[in-house]
Structure 1
Amino acid sequence: KLDRRVESEESGDEEGRKLGSGVTDLSRQSLKDGEEQGEEDPEEEHELPVDMETISLDRDAEDVDLNHYRIGKIEGFEVLKKVKTLCLRQNLIKCIENLEELQSLRELDLYDNQIKKIENLEALTELEVLDISFNLLRNIEGIDKLTRLKKLFLVNNKINKIENISNLHQLQMLELGSNRIRSNRLTKMEGLQSLVNLRELYLSHNGIEVIEGLENNNKLTMLDIASNRIKKIENVSHLTELQEFW
C-alpha cells in the first residue's frame, strides 16, 4: 500500500535497490558498468532525466514501481491497461500528464518530484490514494472529479489555502503538513465540512491560529495540529471518536 508518506528519502546503493514489479530498466547496467570502472558521473549533482525508451513496462502488470529512476516526463504508460498501483516517487517530473488511459488505477504516488500544478487527473475516477507530497504545489485543484479518493497526501508543498475538496465525500485521510496555510488568509478551513468520513487529518507545521471548521467531521480519530500558532484548544469537544490529538 502507498500509505502514509512523510519520511525522509531512503538511502541505499544502486545495486541494493530492487527493480519494481512490472519494470525492466535497460539503462541500469550501463550506469553500473561505469561505476565499477571508477568513472565519475559529471551530472551526479544535477541529475538529467532518463529516456523512457530505456525502461520496458510489463503490459499485464498491476503494480509498477519506478521509484528514483530520474524520469523527467510521464509518457509511454498507456500500455498499462491493468495497472492499479503506479509509483513515480523521487523522480524529475514537472507535469502530470498522459495518464488518462490508466482507468484501472487505484493508487498514484508522485511524492518528491518538481510538480507545480495538479492537473489532468479527471479520467482517473477509480483513484483511491493520491500522493503529491514534497513538490511545488501552490493550490489544491484538479481533484474534484476524484470522488472515490480515500487518502490524499499533499505534505510539504507551498499550499496556503484548503479548497476544492468538498466533493471528496469518501476521503478518510488528509495530510497537509508543512505547508503555508495561515489563518489570516482563511476565514475557515474550507471544504472540510463535507468530508463526513474523514478519520485522519494532519495539519502540522503550518501557521494556523484557530481550530475551526470541524463541525461535521465527527468520525475523526486522529487530529495533528502540532507546530502551529494555536493558543487555545477549542471547537473539538464534539469529536468523541478522537484517539490521537497532537
Structure 2
Amino acid sequence: MAAAAADGGGGAGGGGGGAGGGGGGGGGGGSQQPQEMMEVDRRIESEESGDEEGKKHGAGLVADLSQQSLKDEQNGENPAGEREQPVDMETISLDGDAEDVDLNHYRIGKIEGFEVLKKVKTLCLRQNLIKCIENLEQLQSLRELDLYDNQIKKIENLEALTELEILDISFNLLRHIEGLDQLSQLKKLFLVNNKINKIENISNLQQLQMLELGSNRIRAIENIDTLANLDSLFLGKNKITKLQNLDALTNLTVLSMQSNRLTKIEGLQSLVNLRELYLSHNGIEVIEGLENNMNDNLIESWSDLDELKGAKNLETVYLERNPLQKDPQYRRKIMLALPTVRQIDATFVRF
C-alpha cells in the first residue's frame, strides 16, 4: 500500500525510467557488471512542491536555478555553460551477445552502430544527448527501451520493435503521442515531463497496464477507452479539470491525479477495483452527495454516494491540500462514506 501521495507520474515529475537508473550491464566497454533492475515508484514523479509559504523565497531561487540547469542540459550544455560534446561511438565497445545493455550518461549524440546487438532485450540510453529515435530496426528482440532524459522531439521509427513491452521517453521535448501503433505488446509507457497537451494515438495499446503521463500539459482525460487492461494511470501535475472517460477502465487499481485543477470527485462509478486514489493539490471542495447525507454525523441514505460506492476495494485515498480538508469532520465523513478505506492521506484509519 502506498504511503505517500504521488504521481506520475504522473506522477510527480521526476522519476521515470523503464530500463531505469539501474540499467543492466553488457553494454559499453564490456567491463561493467550486470546490475539488478530496480522498479521506480513513479507516483512520486508529479508531486508538486514549493507551494508552502515558508519555501517561497529560498525554494523559488533553487527552483529557478534548477530549471535553468535542466534547460542547459536539454540544450546539450553542462551547468558551467559549456556545450557538452557527443562521444565518438567508435570508442564504445558493444558485446553482440549481451541481452542487457546499459549506456546511461555516455554522451551519446546519435543512435548508431547498435545493429550488432542481435540478442539485446533491454537497452538503456538514458541521460544522453540523443535528438532522434533511429537505427533500431534490427533490434527485434528488444523488450525494454529507456530513452529517459535526452533531447527527443518526436516518437518515431519504432515500428519494427513489435516485441517491446516497456518504453520510457520521459524528460524529453515531446509535444505529441504518436508512432506507437505497431507496439501492440507494450505493457508500460512512461512519457513523464514532456510538453504533451493531449492523450491520443494509443488506442492500439490494448495490452497496456501502466500509463505515466505526469508533468505535461494535458487538459482532458480522453481516448483511453480501449485500454481495458490498464492497472495504473498517472496523470499528476497536468491541467485537467474533470474526472471523465474512465468507465472502461474496470481493472484500474491506482489512479493518481494530484496537482491538477479538479473541483469535485466524479466519474469513478465504474472503477470497482480501485485501491489507491491520489487527489492531493487540487481545488476539491465537496465529495458529491456527502453534504446532503450528513445529519448529526449519521448517514441517512447512501443513495447519492454514486461516485465512490462502487470502489469496494478502495483502501487508500489522498485528498490533502484541498478546500475539503478544512472541514472539521473531514476524516469522519470519508470514513463513513468509504468504509473500506484504511488510510486517509498519510494517516492510517483507527478503529
Secondary structure at 1:242 match in 2: coil
1:110 aligns with 2:142: no
Report the Cα distance in structure 2 between the residues aligned to 1:83 and 1:139, rounded to whole angstroms.
28
Counterpart for residue 239 of structure 2? 207
The one-character-per-residue Cα deviations of 1:137-172 (angstroms, maximum 9, x if unpaired) are 000000011000000000000000000000000000
Cα distance, 1:182 vs. partner? 1.5
Match of 1:196 in 2: 228
C-alpha contact (below 8 Å) 1:149/1:171 kept by paired residues: yes
Q: Distance in 1 between matches of 2:178 and 2:208?
A: 15
Query: RMSD of aligned C-alpha atoms?
Result: 2.3
Q: Is 2:204 aligned against 1:167?
A: yes
Equivalents in 2 of 1:196, 1:20: separation in Å?
35
* TM-score, with length taken from structure 2: 0.59
**Partner amino acid, structure 2, of 1:65:** D
Question: How many Å separate the matches in 2 of 1:200 and 1:112?
Answer: 22
Match of 2:176 among 135, 139, 154: 139
Cα 1:47–1:173 change in 2 (3 A) is same
2:237 alignment partner AA: H
Indicate the residue corresponding to 2:190 in structure 1.
153
In the alignment, which residue of structure 1 is the partner of 2:108?
Answer: 71
Long gaps (5+) in structure 1: 10-16, 27-40, 184-188
Q: Deviations over 1:99-152 (max 9, x none)?
A: 000000000000000000000000000000000000000000000110000000
Are the counterparts in 2 of residues 88 and 109 from structure 1 also a CA contact under 8 Å? yes
Q: Is the 8 A contact 1:116 1:138 kept in 2?
A: yes
Equivalent residue of 1:201, what SS?
A: strand
Q: Percent identity?
A: 69
Cα offset, 1:18, TM superposition: 9.9
Match of 1:204, as an amino acid? Answer: G
Say whether 1:219 aligns with 2:232.
no
Structure 2: which amino acid aligns with 1:52? M
Q: Which amino acid aligns with 1:23?
A: G
Residue 125 to residue 136, structure 1, CA distance change in 2 (3 Å): same
More deviation, 121-130/232-241: 232-241
Q: Which amino acid aligns with 1:54?
A: T
Describe the shift of the 1:44–1:58 C-alpha distance in structure 2 as closer, same or farther (beyond 3 A). Answer: farther
1:58 to 71, 78, 95: 95
Larger-Rg structure: 2
Partner AA of 1:53 in structure 2: E
Shift of 1:76: 0.2
Whose helix proportion is higher, 1 or 2? 2
Query: Given that residues 25 and 54 in structure 1 are in contact (C-alpha distance below 8 angstroms), is that contact kept between their aligned partners in structure 2?
Result: no
Are the structure 2 counterparts of residues 18 and 182 from structure 1 closer, same or farther at C-alpha, using a change threshold of 3 Å?
closer
Matched, 1:232 2:264: yes
Equivalent of 1:22 in 3, 6, 27: 27
Structure number with the bigger relative contact order (C-alpha 8 A, sep ≥ 6) is 2
* In the alignment, structure 1 residue 83 sits paired with structure 2 residue 120: yes
Q: Number of residue pairs matched?
A: 216
Give the superposition deviation at 1:44.
7.5
Q: TM-score, normalised by structure 1?
A: 0.83
Query: Residues of 2 paired with 1:22 and 1:97: CA distance?
Result: 18
Pair 1:124–1:8, CA change in 2 (3 A): closer
Q: Residue in 1 aligned with 2:289?
A: none
Q: Which structure 2 residue ranges, 5 or more long, are not aligned? A: 1-8, 17-21, 32-77, 279-351
